[in-house]
Amino acid sequence: ANKGTYKVNTVEFTGGIVTTEQQENWQEFYGPKQYINVYGEGSIGTYMCNFAKAGEDIRHVGKPLDWLILSGGDVRLTDKGTIEVRGLNTPNQDWWDSEDLAEITDDGNYNIIGRADEVIISRGGANIFPYEIAEYIGRHEKVNDCYLYKIKVDDERGEMPGCVYSGNVSPEHFYNYTKKKIEGYQVPLKFTRLKDTMPKLLKEDPGVKVNLFFMEDTLKENSEWIVDEYET
């Protein structure tokens, strides 16, 4: 139930990747009647939107809006799986690549699954999507938060995921749990347990900026965050 002073009717956010757990937490705490998931580019405008009632799926960003289609614009997926938009506000009214990876659901809605430059490409050429894996393995009952990042191993093995998390479970135990839940090529190379959740650590030290591209550097520079590690 909402513990706050004011009743929240609507939660609006912009094209972010929302996990099932986040949606459940928002509903429990704020108790909104509806959600609005807006998607677009700052210089182009909003061109997709998902209006969802409480209990409905808020993870997708809906379909192209009428204004875009009626003005001669369109949205499509490229061969690499990213969203492209064309319309009155795109440069030369040509196709503009968002670099956001997406899937189209059976209902024709666009579901954002990550950024093209965040995808981890395994030795066999398979794509690993960090957000999907982190959400899945992060459901462990003793894990508080979980993130995957890219590790460039070597030319032979290519890229592999690393995992940083907080919770009351050792890195080795979390590794053994994870390898039973996902495919072998998706299992992180390294598990690093932090002393607290990432949001709380950043609140304590607002000068630190976290970027999943440079997570290894961030951990080296903030080694006091680390409780223990396990490398597979």
Inside any domain, residue 213: yes
pLDDT of amino acid 210 = 72
Using CA atoms, how far apart are residues 115 and 63, in angstroms rounded to an integer?
19
pLDDT per position as a tens digit, 42-63:
778 899 999 999 888 888 999 9
Inside any domain, residue 191: yes
Query: Are 49 and 109 within one domain?
Result: yes
More confident of the two residues 24 and 83: 83
Q: What percent of the chain has pLDDT over 90?
A: 47
Query: Are 54 and 127 within one domain?
Result: no
pLDDT of amino acid 6 = 66
Query: Are 125 and 109 within one domain?
Result: no
Inside any domain, residue 51: yes
Confidence of residue 153 (pLDDT cuts 50, 70, 90): confident
One DSSP character per residue, 188-223 reads -SEEEEESS-HHHHHHH-TT----GGGHHHHHHHTG
Query: Are 146 and 51 within one domain?
Result: no
Confidence of residue 124 (pLDDT cuts 50, 70, 90): confident
Confidence of residue 23 (pLDDT cuts 50, 70, 90): confident
Look up the CATH number of the domain holding residue 55. Answer: 3.40.50.12780
Inside any domain, residue 4: no
Inside any domain, residue 3: no
Query: Are 56 and 98 within one domain?
Result: yes
pLDDT of amino acid 159 = 85
Domains of the chain: total: 2
Calculate Rg over the CA atoms of the chain: 20
Q: Which of 79, 96, 116 is the last residue of a domain?
A: 116
Residue 181 domain boundaries: 120-231
pLDDT per position as a tens digit, 126-151:
788 888 899 889 999 999 999 999 88
| 97 phi and psi angles, rounded to 5 deg | -90, 120
Q: Model-level pTM?
A: 0.71
